[in-house]
Amino acid sequence: MFNHFFCSMSQWSQVQQLEIKFLEQVDQFYDDNFPMEIRHLLAQWIESQDWEAASNNEAMAMILLQNLLIQVDEQLDRVSQEKNLLLIHNLKRIRKLLQGKYHGNPMHIAVIISNCLREERRILAAASMPVQGPLEKSLQNSVVSERQRNVEHKVSAIKNSAQMTDQDVKYLEDLQEEFDFRYKTIQSLEQSDKNSALIKQEMLALQAMLNTLDYKRKEVLSKIGRVIHEIDMLMSNMLTEELLDWKRRQQIACIGGPLHGGLDQLQNCFTLLAESLFQVRRQLEKLDELLTRLTYDGDPIPVQRPQLLEKVNFLLYNLFRNSFVVERQPCMPTHPQRPMVLKTLIQFTVKLRLLIKLPELNYQIRVKATIDKNVSTVSNRRFVLCGTHVKAMNMDESANGSLSVEFRHLQPKEMKSSAGSKGNEGPHMVTEELHSISFETQVCLYGLTINLETSSLPVVMISNVSQLPNAWASIIWYNLSTNDPQNLSFFNNPPAATLSQLLEVLSWQFSSYVGRGLNSEQLNMLAEKLMGQQVSYNDYQLSWAKFCKEHLPGKSFTFWVWLEAILDLIKKHILPLWIDGYVMGFVSKEKERILLKDKTPGTFLLRFSESNLGGITFTWVDQLENGEVTFHSVEPYNKGRLAALPFADILRDYKVIMADNVPENPLKYLYPDIPKDKAFGKHYSCQPNEVSKPSDGGVKGYVPSVFIPVSKILNDSTDPHSPSDLLPMSPSVYAVLREHLSPTVIETALSSPYSTD
């Protein structure tokens, strides 16, 4: 049975009704960057704005930011009248925070709010599932959370140990200065004075002090060694795993999965470790300075210090190399929900971050971007990057003050020498080629020079927007199937994917792109379409060819092309109906008859066409005089016809002409039993009684007209003919025709054949 819920509520109202385990997930991504108080107070206004478009349009983002502040001011006026002191205080603080943080970078708050809304939709979709998906479950593993806490605890402990060792080095320095002073005092005495009993006693005291110095030197070196060892172990194990986990979460988020938080926490860990290593390095330099002033037989400094310094430098090199990450993967602003698909001569953006945030590095690191550097791809196509491909990292452009750089004006251009090879490539060849955007820089700090390199996840280069659907399928399959960040030959032999994981990702496509994910019944229908009538699909392995290259049985298109056309249809023509949950969509003709057979005549449901790309149809149940149940399905509406008439209006105005009867609307109740006008009334472009009458005028000299979808059902057919014959006439004229013309005369205008879907 189709699970219909939260139909007419705002998204925020739906979120508030979730179970506590889902509310805890929501709580994780609301912070001072976008406080939950604002989300709550301005819920409807926030949801009515296009934050996604503003995230790539600075002028639009600035207008939205200004309007947001105006909305906050209005709330302040309201709560001031109510004398709610606590809320007044919080709103003033939040307004000041938003103004200060985003005035110079309004697109950043647009990105944050867009991501929060998207994550809410994903959580709502997950809440409608009977069980949590396997991918999402793995990302929220309690073992991972425990490791994160352990890393933060150990980093803090290491920082404290390094600071304590500083005190030991200072004590050692003071002790050596005292020894040096007393030793030089004795050395300055005349030879006759050196033989006195007092001086001999002082010499014994100096020997004891030297023994203490030796002990303290060994102790300090031992403590430094332990700090270095702790850092080495942490970097080799838990911190490396944390970074790999973050990169995996980023992969999943790029294909519609949960937002990948945790980079700020990683930055804090990397920065504290770098500070600790530089602190240890200064301690070793101080020991070298002490060595030049005093050494002796068995002195541990000249033996141990070089090895320790070499280890510190090695750890710093590795820490810096791992800290250079792609924070936001390459993405065209025109297609924000299709990252890693790049079109030639179209700008894309990409953001890099250095997780070691040291003030000394601000504006000191210049990053250079290249494409396919030292990499052989599976085709002969070669590209260069046009636009500003060298920029300095800084702490001013990011709202959170991270050391980062964002390239906003890069364009891939295909080199002429490779353009001639495209004609020899098959239709899928281009969209299965993987390329790499590489970044390199150099860090010079405290006498160290460290070369850094990193790369984006594999990207697909297209030359025509018609290639985008298959290119996106390649991105989905790659990031679902592997955590290898640079396997550019992946599609030479693409592995199969677990169907349960693939279905989870397909639901994410709907929750992220069109605002509502798929429930278990809808996913079951997709599973049957991919693999037939098998009952269990948890362990079923699906091939790449079956997903994206082989045609569906009896069809001229692949599964993915069919699904992508549905996403496009929803986005452009029936988005509000889909978000409200009134489009069952994914249900077979056999299943819809099972659902409708026991329902009240006139009950209907909406489903996507299985034989027409990007088509939607409706089926209703009827009952003959002899009690026999019949079903009627209208020919699918495609985007061309929906561009002429909104789908909600079609459902309201749709008429059927039965033999010897006047036209009537057979659609009464949306499955299971929702009155049609209650479900779709708010989406009608106008109410029937508001349509202009002939006497109302309109364009001078003409009678205003409306399109009315009409089908006919013959005595020997249970299916209506095509509704593509939209009769342009005013409602009042149509009423006159019904009164004065027979159904047979009206039928002469309705001769288009019916397509069986």
Q: What is the CATH number of domain 11-128?
A: 1.10.532.10
The one-character DSSP state at 436 is -
pLDDT digits (tens, 9 = 90+) for 612-632: 899 999 999 988 888 888 898
Burial pattern 503-522, b for ≥16 Cβ within 10 A else e, equals: bbbbbbbbbbbbbbbbbeeb
Which CATH architecture group holds 140-322?
Up-down Bundle (1.20)
Predicted pLDDT at 376? 58
Predicted pLDDT at 570? 93
pLDDT-derived band of residue 424, with 50, 70 and 90 as boundaries? Answer: very low
The one-character DSSP state at 689 is G
Bigger pLDDT: 475 vs 695: 475
Predicted pLDDT at 144? 60
Domain boundaries, the chain: 11-128, 140-322, 332-415+429-461, 514-683
pLDDT digits (tens, 9 = 90+) for 345-397: 999 999 999 999 999 998 899 999 999 886 655 567 889 999 999 999 998 87
pLDDT higher than threshold 90 for residue 452 = yes
pLDDT higher than threshold 50 for residue 726 = no
Q: How far apart are CA 522 and CA 432, in angstroms?
A: 29
pLDDT higher than threshold 70 for residue 715 = no
pLDDT-derived band of residue 127, with 50, 70 and 90 as boundaries? Answer: confident
Task: Give me the mean pLDDT over the 306-317 stretch.
Answer: 96
Bigger pLDDT: 750 vs 315: 315
Task: Give me the mean pLDDT over the 409-436 stretch.
Answer: 71
CA distances 32 to 262, 327, 460, Å, are 15, 20, 36
Q: What is the CATH number of domain 514-683?
A: 3.30.505.10
Task: Give me the mean pLDDT over the 154-162 stretch.
Answer: 93
Task: Give me the mean pLDDT over the 408-420 stretch.
Answer: 77
3-state secondary structure of 708: strand
Handedness of CA 300, 301, 304, 308 (dihedral sign): positive
Phi, psi of 728 (to 5 degrees): -80, 105
pLDDT higher than threshold 60 for residue 422 = no
- In 3D space, the residue among 63, 61, 95 whose CA is nearest the CA of residue 77 turns out to be 95
CB atoms within 10 A of CB 589: 14
Q: What is the pTM of this model?
A: 0.79
Predicted pLDDT at 457? 95
CATH superfamily for 332-415+429-461 is STAT transcription factor, DNA-binding domain (2.60.40.630)
Q: 499-514 vs 559-569: helix axis angle to the nearest 10?
A: 20
pLDDT digits (tens, 9 = 90+) for 212-270: 999 999 999 999 999 999 999 999 988 898 899 899 989 998 998 877 678 888 999 99
Q: How far apart are CA 425 and CA 423, in angstroms?
A: 6
pLDDT digits (tens, 9 = 90+) for 170-226: 999 999 999 888 888 887 776 666 667 777 788 888 899 899 999 999 999 999 999
